[in-house]
Amino acid sequence: MSAVTEVPQALRPRPLGPGTPRGAAITDTLTGAVLLVVGHAVMGIAMSYSSLLASAVAGLTLVGAIGLAAFSKRIELAVVAAIYVGASDVLWRMTNAKIPWESGKYVFALVLLILLARFIRRLRQPFVPLLYLFVLLPSGALTFWQLGLGLGRSEISLTLAGPLALGVAVLVFRQLIATEAEFRRMLWAVVAPAASVAAIATKGTLAAGTIKFTGESNFVTSGGYGPNQVSNILGAAATCCLLLFLSRAPLRVRIVSLMVGAWLLGQALLTLSRGGVWGFVAGGVCIGLTGLVTSGSRSRVLTIGVVVVLAAVLVYSWVNLFTAGSLANRYADQSSTNRSDIARGDLALFGQNPIFGVGPGVAKFVRSGVVEADGNTHTEYSRLLAEHGVFGVVALVLLGVMFVQSLRSATTTWNRFASVSLGVYALFTMSHSATRIAIIAVLFGLAALRIDPDDAPGDAGRAAPASTARRSAPGPAFGQHPPSYRESLSARTRQRDRSGRARRADADR
């Protein structure tokens, strides 16, 4: 079938209301964006007071996401729900929701797999993510052999939940092509739960009165939960806010995203846990470098970069003043808070068990020379070596290959900004927090998602011109896929890839 065939009407997402053009969404309006953030802030504070409410919200979210994946005819709704689930696990943990500990990761992966089975027949570039998932399996036998069936199953499920979600996310997201408006909704699905987390942390900070800041991370300003995980989810959402500010959303919405990002970053700084903040900086620097080497975007990136840097400096200065200089002292401290000791122990285990490693979840039981009580691995890269041996080396290489493939698949300048910043944030977070929270898999998967260059220039709330919208069919777009479309998917994708360079140049202009 020719690549210029008109897209079947069933592929187009259903409008949110009568007369609403394609691409319009409540998050592309000032009122909608403000209500989303404020509503989640209020909900987060309410959940912090009631474990029952937190459990109900978490349970309904999980069931709703699975239901959308199984029955909805719109891929976009289920994808946004999956992202929301993955971004909510820290919120559910800090509010004591009574759900299985790794529910966020497993339901996130399950929803994506259901979508894969329902809508995708021919896979695009599946080899690397499937191989990544496969090389994680052989060492599992050692875990059962050393820890027994019960404890072994528990350790494997905890240790491999993150890598499983990451591999599935890359496999599924690279099959999809979204409009820029759809991608913005996915970014808001990360920001919304983070706003709940930030609200809880802000409430705890204001209610505490006088806070004693030391050279360590602070549980009071983290809402009473682990500062590392709170900092990571806030930094991830701040990175998404930066991308929203760089997007073609209405100016008022972009200003809201900048203000929300400043709040999230400020609260992340107050935790005195450095991981999320440094991840945001790494992602922002990569966006700047990408913009500088991309023709047609240098002046815009420089202008926006100045605004973002000034805002970040103001936030940092205020937080440093609030903490009486403890923030500056914390970031001047170059210690790794025992992470380097654990990583060295992992490398020693790899040297002793180079083929299969010691088995996923086993390193903390057999590692020596580590002061930390439980010795849980904080660095995913050393964990792969210690617990998977040479298969872990292969997994490391495949992580790099998947990231490069995501960068090469980007179709527009903003798509490249998203791929590099989200991918770098995920890879950086794995260096100090392993894969403990689901947002790592969410961001690394989103980095593989492509944006339709035909739709990217269209502003929110305005349909793309018919001549532009019909000149090529999107790859697996969000919506119902009739059999005729599925059969022509491979040919259309090949045509899109052959004309990708011309499309990127057109979109950049």
Taking only the tens place, the pLDDT of each residue in 271-316 is 999 999 999 999 999 999 999 888 778 888 888 889 899 999 999 9
In sequence order, the 6+-apart residues with CB closer than 8 A to the CB of 461 are 21, 23, 24, 28, 29, 250
The two structure tokens encoding residue 190: 């990360």
Residue 23: left (phi > 0), alpha (psi -120 to 50), or beta? left
The two structure tokens encoding residue 99: 């759900």
Cβ pair 447, 423 in contact under 8 A: yes
41 in a domain, yes or no?
yes
Cβ pair 423, 474 in contact under 8 A: no
**Residue 462 and residue 7: Cα distance in Å, rounded?**
18
343 in a domain, yes or no?
no
**Residue 289 and residue 450: Cα distance in Å, rounded?**
20
Q: What is the pTM of this model?
A: 0.85
487 in a domain, yes or no?
no
439 in a domain, yes or no?
yes
pLDDT at residue 22 is higher than 80: no
Q: What average pLDDT does this structure show over 463-475?
A: 33
Q: What average pLDDT does this structure show over 108-133?
A: 95
pLDDT of residue 295: 79
In sequence order, the 6+-apart residues with CB closer than 8 A to the CB of 374 are 364
Average pLDDT, the chain: 84
Instruction: Compute φ and ψ for 177, nearest 5 degrees.
Output: -125, 125
pLDDT of residue 31: 93
**Among 259, 246, 235, which Cα is nearest to 287's?**
246
The two structure tokens encoding residue 132: 């990544």
Of the given ranges (92-106, 228-242, 286-300), which has the lowest mean pLDDT? Answer: 286-300
The two structure tokens encoding residue 420: 């590099």
**Among 344, 356, 351, 354, which Cα is nearest to 382's?**
344
pLDDT at residue 19 is higher than 80: no
pLDDT at residue 427 is higher than 90: yes
485 in a domain, yes or no?
no
367 in a domain, yes or no?
no
Q: What average pLDDT does this structure show over 194-211?
A: 93
SS3 375: coil
Q: How confident is the model at residue 166 (pLDDT cuts 50, 70, 90)?
A: very high
Residue at token pair 């971004």 = 87
Q: What is the pLDDT of residues 38-95, one digit of tens each?
A: 999 999 999 999 999 999 999 999 999 999 999 998 899 999 999 999 999 999 999 9
Distances (CA, A) of 483 to 115, 121, 370, 479, 486: 15, 10, 57, 13, 5
For residue 444, which amino acid is it? Answer: F
Domain that holds residue 296: 9-209+220-335+384-451
Residue 152: left (phi > 0), alpha (psi -120 to 50), or beta? alpha
474 in a domain, yes or no?
no
**Residue 369 and residue 375: Cα distance in Å, rounded?**
10
pLDDT at residue 15 is higher than 50: no
pLDDT of residue 305: 87
For residue 55, which amino acid is it? Answer: S
pLDDT of residue 499: 53
pLDDT of residue 154: 92
In sequence order, the 6+-apart residues with CB closer than 8 A to the CB of 244 are 184, 187, 188, 191, 253, 254, 257, 261
151-159, long-range: CB within 8 Å, 24+ apart, which pairs?
A: 152/359, 152/361, 154/361, 155/360, 155/361, 155/362, 156/360, 156/361, 157/102, 158/101, 158/102, 158/361, 159/360, 159/361, 159/383, 159/387
Between 475 and 106, the higher pLDDT residue:
106
Q: What is the pLDDT of residues 483-508, one digit of tens each?
A: 333 333 344 444 545 555 555 445 44
Cβ pair 268, 238 in contact under 8 A: yes
pLDDT of residue 482: 34
Residue 463: left (phi > 0), alpha (psi -120 to 50), or beta? beta
Instruction: Compute φ and ψ for 204, nearest 5 degrees.
Output: -65, -35
User: How far is the first Cα of the chain from the last one, in angstroms, to the nearest whole number?
Assistant: 30
358 in a domain, yes or no?
no
Task: Give just the sign of the alpha carbon dihedral 448, 76, 72, 486.
Answer: negative
Q: Domain count for the chain, please give it.
A: 1
Q: What average pLDDT does this structure show over 449-458?
A: 73
**Residue 297 and residue 279: Cα distance in Å, rounded?**
23
pLDDT of residue 408: 95
